[in-house]
């Protein structure tokens, strides 16, 4: 599978940010950045699980763009991702 580096806009719901802050205060993460990075990784895994055919079987570029468009409303930070 060919992967290329790109930037993705990611919106994190306010409730999730409150949960992140609570987890940092409780000591589950060393800092807020680590917790946010974990949320982003889980979001990417969720998208891959939701649209497996696009990534495994090489469905056309249009399908990948649709998957990215569907991700944006659900999860605001600029992140670097391999797609």
Mean pLDDT of 28-42: 85
The predicted pLDDT at position 65 comes to 46
**pLDDT at res. 38:** 84
d(CA 30, CA 41): 17
Check whether 40 has a pLDDT greater than 70: yes
Tell me the backbone φ, ψ of residue 66, rounded to 5 degrees: -60, -40
Query: What per-residue confidence (pLDDT) applies to 51?
Result: 64
Among candidate residues 83, 77, 82, 7, the one with its CA nearest the CA of residue 36 = 77
Q: Average pLDDT, stretch 68-81? A: 46
Q: Where in the chain does DSSP place strands (E)?
A: 5-10, 77-82
Q: What does the domain layout of the chain look like in residue ranges?
A: 5-82
């Amino acid at each position: 599978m060919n992967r290329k580096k790109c930037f993705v806009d990611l919106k994190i719901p306010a409730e999730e940010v409150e949960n992140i802050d609570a987890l940092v205060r409780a000591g589950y993460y060393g800092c807020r950045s680590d917790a946010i990075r974990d949320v982003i990784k889980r979001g990417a895994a969720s998208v891959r699980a939701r649209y497996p055919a696009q990534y495994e079987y090489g469905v056309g570029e249009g399908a990948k763009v649709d998957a990215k468009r569907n991700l944006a409303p659900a999860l605001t930070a600029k992140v670097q991702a391999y797609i």
